[in-house]
Amino acid sequence: MSIGPDGTLLPARFTGLCLTALPLVLCVPVAAQAAQEPVAAPAAPPATEPVIEFSADEVTYENEVDLVTAQGRVRMSRDGNYLAADKVSWDRRSGRVLAEGNVVIMTPQGDKLVSDKVDLTDTLRDGAVENLLIVLEGGGRIAAERGSRTGDVTQLENAVYTACPVVTAAGCPKNPSWKITATRVTHDRASGRIRFNGGRLTVLGVPLPLLPIFSIGDGSGEGGFSGALVPGIRVDSNNGLEIDFPYYWRIDKNRDLTITPHIYTGALPALETRWRHLTSKGAYQLGAFVTYGDIPDPDMVDLTPEDKDGFRGFFEGNGRFQLDPFWTVTGSLRAATDKTVARQYDLTRDDRLRSFVSAERISLDSYVAIEGWAFQGLRSTDKQGRIPIALPAVDARVRLDDPVLGGKVELQANSLAILRLDGQDTQRAFASARWDMRRLTRMGQELTFTAFARADAYHTDNSEETVVDIYRGQDGWQFRGIGALAADLKWPLIGQLWGGSQRLTPRVQLVLTPPTENLDIPNEDARAVDLEDSNLFALNRFPGYDRWEDGSRVTYGLEWAFDRPKFSVDAVIGQSYRLTNEPVLFPDGTGLTDRFSDIVGRTRIRFGRLVDVTHRYRVDKDNLAVRRNELDLTVGTELTYAQVGYLRLNRDISPTVEDLRDKEELRLAGRWQILPYWSVFGSTVLDLSDEEEDPLNIADGFEPVRHRLGFTYEDDCLELGVAWKRDYERIGEFRKGSTFSINFALKGIGR
């Protein structure tokens, strides 16, 4: 390098120097004069001064005023604070650092400040600036006329804040969907809080008033902050106008509580709370909704007004804890004081509340689950005393590492106790072993051999209280042995077709099983049986353990798959034939009562990403009547689409078998994006069942179940919408009716 006549270093770039020692580097004569003076006794070494690393195209030092000037691509950093500018002047006497021209400052937390001129101290942290833009690490932006920073606190005047992008994907400027303007903005980086004085919210160009003083989180990941959340507004035919005022209380980094009062014009107020807690082993949350008011009679029984008023509540909680790499504990609690509180206040649409606790151990070759289950029925016909409680339910499985006779062996042990306050009680236990061996022949066939054995023990009390005979069983102890041998052959044939590839797979399965005792054993978990493509080749086509399909049979079917660019077809069809004439357990209408079963199949066709249709069916083997007809169709893109769902079950089953009732239903849904970010959506469900299909159904062949209609605006930082919902559900004297709701959410904003 060289030194110019005016003391300028030309054209060198310095990096990693201590700026406080820079004059000693530049002023060589001063250092020489000091060397001629007598050497003093050694002193203690001075404390290490903070280092400012810098680089620049040109550095000038003015000895008279103790001023250092760096120009041309100046880069400086100290204690994690980074500065880039065209020119930086440092007054060593006052400690003032003046940065000019394309100034960018980065903090250790990731916030970025952009301006043309910044006045700082030599810590590169504190200072003042005019006409600045701050880009927060959480994604928000603040533009202001002037500002100053002291420590972690930044004070801004006449500022605008938004968490929305201000440029398009092509880099062109655009107006943010929402912004907050304020006369004064205070950003505390240590707490992650942004405070507004004299603020006003503008949404899609429409100004809205705000509180004189309020604050939000900056989205920096520091966690939530205690304070009020955005209120909600709804109107429905039962409660009138509803306004809720949620308040969020951040107790600690891993615990918080949300309290939401609900005010109604047509009902008494309600209070909702939700507690969340993250622990070292897992997390859980608890919620409650409580109120006082009129309780509709689900059984249509006239009560006195005193009997119909009372405390109403809905309680829920769930959690999951990982105790060690193998053991996991999961739990869920849901309960209501009456059958209609959840519907009236739109807490859930479920017609049955489920509570459970489960401890599971999962490893590569074993599984153990210890569980307990309880249910609460919310339908008008539900009798709580007859709804079972499963406690305990134990299931253990292990897969042997070493092959046995060339096949894999899996062992299972299971026990279950079912209790009722008013009805049949059942306890069962069984142990089973299954052996599977898979082989490929030289011709490409896939051959699977299976051997299965199981031993059961049952104990039953109060079986006479079960109304349906085929579910009842016998009181006392019952024992049963189950065995089966099976062989399954698949032969995939692959070739070219119509510019694509096809795969044709004939499949044949032989199952041999001796007569099995079933009727003396109660049926608790194998009731909703129906032949379909998913269980056609199952070893046992009953859905649970309490019933076993005995009698040898042959099942045959055909799978076909065709693929070409932007078009594919996937289809399966099959039937089974029973080899014996012995009576069967399946109720009439399930498609499995005769030697030949009904014909079942599924076809799925896809045209690129625009059309996806799936059809499932079951055809009566005797008269080709369609016993199951299910269609699911989706047409369109992710933004604009139409969906059609149709289901008809025409099984002609006795109405006393409540788990297999016939029905006919039509579901329609769609979404239309009319403009960028603006869309209209709607859906409807229609019950097409009549008395001929289901004598227990009160529908007249065209009964609406629910409708939904609304419009919404949604981009990457704003969601705004209005929706109408009409629910025709009836629980005794309760009618749900219509509900109007307003949805408003500012994305990217912290609590």
Q: Summarize pLDDT for 26-73 with one digit per residue, the tens.
A: 333 333 333 334 444 445 445 455 567 778 888 888 887 788 888 888
For residues 387 and 275, give the distance between their C-alpha atoms in angstroms, rounded to a whole number: 30
The pLDDT value recorded for residue 584 is: 78
Q: Which of 87-101, 670-684, 690-704 has the highest mean pLDDT?
A: 670-684
Tell me whether residue 523 is exposed, middle or buried, using C-beta atoms within 10 angstroms of its C-beta: 0 to 12, 13 to 18, 19 or more.
buried
Q: What is the pLDDT of residues 308-346, one digit of tens each?
A: 789 999 999 999 999 999 999 999 999 999 999 999 999
Return the percent helix, strand and coil in the chain, to nearest 5. Answer: 5, 55, 40
Cα gap 302→398, rounded to integer Å:
56
Cβ density class 581-618: b for 16+ within 10 Å, e for less: eeebbbbebbbbeeeebbbbbbbbbbeeeeebebbbbb
Residue 236, SS3 per DSSP: strand
Q: Angle at the Cα of 734 (from 730 to 736), degrees rounded to 5?
A: 70
Distance CA 317, CA 354 (A): 11
pLDDT in tens, 525-576: 888 888 899 999 999 999 889 999 988 999 999 999 999 999 999 999 999 9
- Which pLDDT score is estimated for 564? 93
Structure tokens at 420: 């009722």
Closest CA to 601 of 565, 630, 578, 622: 630
Taking alpha carbons only, the member of 196, 198, 247 closest to residue 217 is 196
- Confidence band for 669, pLDDT divided at 50, 70 and 90: very high
Q: How many residues does the chain have?
A: 751
d(CA 576, CA 557): 8
The pLDDT of residue 207 is above 70: yes
In this predicted structure, what is the pLDDT of residue 113? 84
pLDDT tens digit string along 405-419?
A: 999 999 999 999 999
Residue closest to 121 by CA, chosen among 81, 156, 170:
81
Number of helical H runs and strand E runs in the chain: 4, 45
Quote the CA–CA distance of 563 and 495 in Å, as a whole number: 11
Which pLDDT belongs to residue 60?
Answer: 86
**Which runs of consecutive H residues, i.e. helices, occur in 641-715?**
none
Closest CA to 552 of 528, 582, 522: 582
Strands annotated E in 265-326: 270-278, 282-294, 309-322
Tokens representing 479?
Answer: 């024992």
Dihedral sign, Cα of residue 551, residue 409, residue 371, residue 318: negative
Closest CA to 731 of 341, 349, 339, 354: 339
The 10s digit of each residue's pLDDT in 446-494 is 999 999 999 999 999 998 888 888 888 899 999 999 999 999 999 999 9
pLDDT of residue 36: 38
**Closest by Cα among 456, 374, 466, 382 to 419:** 374
Quote the tokens at residue 351.
């017609």
Please state, rounded to an integer, the average pLDDT across all residues of the chain: 85
Comparing CA positions, the residue from 54, 53, 72, 86 lying closest to residue 8 is 72
353-370: pLDDT as tens digits = 999 999 999 999 999 999
